[in-house]
Amino acid sequence: MRSGEMWRTHSCVPRRHSCRRPVQRGEDTSRRVSTRHALVRTPHYSRAALLLLLCAPLLAQTGGPGTAPLKLKSESRLVLVDAVVTAKKDAPVHGLTATDFHIFEDGKQQTVTAFQAHAGPATPGMPQQHFLLLFDGKSTDHPDDDLKSIQEPAARFIADNAGPNRLMSIAYYEFGCMTIATQFTADVGRLQRALGTLPSLLRRCGKVSDPDGDLQARYYTQLAKDLSHVPGHKVLALFAANAAPGANPARVASTFAVEGISRSIDPAIGSADPSSRASELSDLANAGNVPLPIDSSTRRDPFGMEAEFRKADVAVYPVEVQIGARSPGWALKLADATGGRELSRGNDVVAVFGLLAREQNEAYTLGYVPQESPEGSCHILKVTVDRRDAKVRGRNLYCNVRETSLAAANPLETELENLAASAQAGNAAASASVPYFYEANGVARVNLAVEIPTPALNPSEVNGKIHAEMDVLGLSYNLGDEVAARFGDTLRFEFGSRQQFDDFVQHPFHYERQFRIASGNYRFKLIYRTAKDRFGVLETPLAIGPFDARRLSLSAIALSRDAQPISPEAAQEEIEAGKRPLIFRGERIVVSGSDLLSKAGSAQAYFEIYQPPASGAQPVRLSMRLRVLDAQTNGQKWDSGDIDLSALAKSGNRAIPVALKLPVAALPPGIYRAELTVKDSAGGQAARSVQFRTE
């Protein structure tokens, strides 16, 4: 199933205060719940209307006789190419017109049909810019100290530059955990608050061994795919040092191979002219006339990291994290491949941020209509300028990719979405959790759980029975603020008497829903309406890491306050109905919609371990360790020690379910973090963490 499609077989349960499973034989059915939902995914081509809107300000300020008014057919596509032109000492070159530029696609010159010289994001008519500040905690020996030295200048940069035409986002990477602290926004306060939370994020991800940076490269590749949903050119300011994703730091060279042509590339390419190296790569690719110069089979880019950033039109600018320390070689190569460059920090970090903003303010945007090409094909771009000694950096790859989109929302879903976007605040409280588990094809299955403390339903009497309804809409937004997944439910309740209804609304209501979505960073929003004037809106990050079936992996950790026996027959019925119950040793684990765990009740952590294929005749030994830490002080409160799971690994099941009781009874009220680590005898290691509260 492709990203964005939903299960169409969700069923609700007339249990006392929940909605999660089919009716069992002998169960009271006087309170009956039903659902309706529909979702269809249909492909469509790139949004021509949006491109026409993008063209309008460009065409209004074109320069020179080479840019006659452009008339686009409804199916036409305009490729926009941002270019930074500098002279000696990286001084920007001003006053260029369209006639000074030349665009080449696969070595063939194209006609520049749109042109614009940037004049700063505050100028009306300027294209919207997207800046991402990425702090790599894995790549520095002292992340807390390095981060503190950057936070204040970064906060000033945000205050001076964020706005309607320059949206910003903040992200953090730490040992197998990519966190989007805030998606692209012009809200300065929200950005600065997200920046202030970064130190605490250092401690929220379970640390895992990644000596060669392979895991780091996979997460960066996933980030690039996420950024491909953001329209236009993107700028990524990367604060990293010391480590190398996807390659051993001791390697002094890597090989770039295209159609049998091999070339040694020095990792320390930051000292060379980026534009000349980009030209060399373009010449190599053009000589072979290949669709994509870098792919997952090459030694230079084994995980496709550079290729994905190029396809997403992201220019990477590494910034020195430590005074006098060069950025790592892998970051310099990434900058070279994407049209960025290293920014030397020196003693003035504020100046570095200013240089980054000024360079984008003084860039140029060119546009051309590409030739017809097969869907999915990628093409090398090269921009030159008729100025001696001028250097050009910018977009160097364009891919003819068909866009896909969800079907239009039905009227009820549109109504709920408009309600959530209105100035009217929700007046119904609730909490939710979104743990996820991987399917065999690598797609994630999200187990949404919602707790509504007091469901204020609007009852009506029909034929002597009490009826009520609740509408639910779930939306997952990608980094481009597009809806990547959607589901809608209408829950219908039926009660045999008014007393049953009154009893029902006096207790919390538990709602569950499963849906599938591809790996990526999302913003999940849930809108629910229990009565005409009673609704609630929940919003939470949904970060699903990349899945690799060849290495030991973990699902997210689901908190549970309830486990019920389930027969094999009942479990099979749910599977056939399209739902996958979470089962461990004959018990169904019910996902909690709240992180609050009671000392008096049952508290468990459920997760799944995914084994890679066995590589030898010897059985693989598997072990796990769970530690509970104080979320504020990072002090250890409980340690399970190493627990041997080899018996579970012998079952031959690649997905191993595990449920472990949490020692909440021994913990004083507070906020805690459970850190899980699993290891196997083949050297595999994976880690996850989850935060919870006790009362």
Which fold would CATH assign to domain 550-695?
A: Immunoglobulin-like (2.60.40)
Answer whether 678's CB lies under 8 Å from 552's CB.
yes
**What's the pLDDT score for residue 35?**
42
Tens of pLDDT along 529-559? 887 778 889 999 999 999 988 889 999 999 9
Integer Cα distance of 622 and 554 in angstroms: 13
Architecture of domain 1-44+403-547: Sandwich (2.60)
d(C-alpha 543, C-alpha 515), whole Å: 15
Single pTM value for the model: 0.79
| The two three-digit tokens of residue 572, written as one number | 């099979």
370 contacts: CB under 8 Å, gap ≥ 6: 77, 79, 105, 110, 379, 398, 400
Number of other residues whose CB lies within 10 A of the CB of residue 255: 11
Q: Does domain 119-361 have CATH number 3.40.50.410?
A: yes
Mean pLDDT lowest for which of 3-17, 219-233, 390-404? 3-17
Tell me which of 106-120, 197-211, 285-299, 341-355 is least confident: 285-299
- Tell me the mean pLDDT in the region 451-479: 91
Nearest to 394 by CA among 371, 367, 364, 370: 364
Instruction: List the domain boundaries for the chain.
Output: 1-44+403-547, 48-118+364-401, 119-361, 550-695
Residue from 308, 366, 292 nearest 109 by CA? 366
CA dihedral 297, 301, 302, 306 (to 10 degrees): -110
How far is CA 236 from each of CA 105, 319, 334, 428, 668, rounded to the nearest angstrom? 25, 10, 11, 39, 43
Residues in the chain: 695
Question: Per mean pLDDT, which range of 28-37, 207-216, 431-440 is the poorest?
Answer: 28-37
Rounded-to-integer distance, Cα 172 and Cα 234, Å: 17
The pLDDT score that the predictor gives to residue 275 is 39
Could you tell me the pLDDT band of residue 322, with boundaries at 50, 70 and 90? Answer: low
The predicted-structure confidence for 491-526, as pLDDT tens digits, reads as follows 999 999 999 999 999 988 999 999 999 999 999 999
The answer to whether residues 680 and 620 touch, using CB atoms and an 8 Å cutoff, is yes
**Tokens in use for 193?**
């608050």
Residues with Cβ within 8 Å of residue 50, at least 6 apart in sequence: 231
DSSP conformation class of 163: B
Least confident span in 268-277, 345-354, 500-509, 575-584:
268-277
Q: In what order do the strands lie in the sheet with 166-173?
A: 178-185, 166-173, 129-136, 234-240, 314-320
Rounded to the nearest integer, the mean pLDDT of the chain is 78
Q: What is the pLDDT of residue 312?
A: 95
**119-361 shares its CATH topology with 550-695:** no
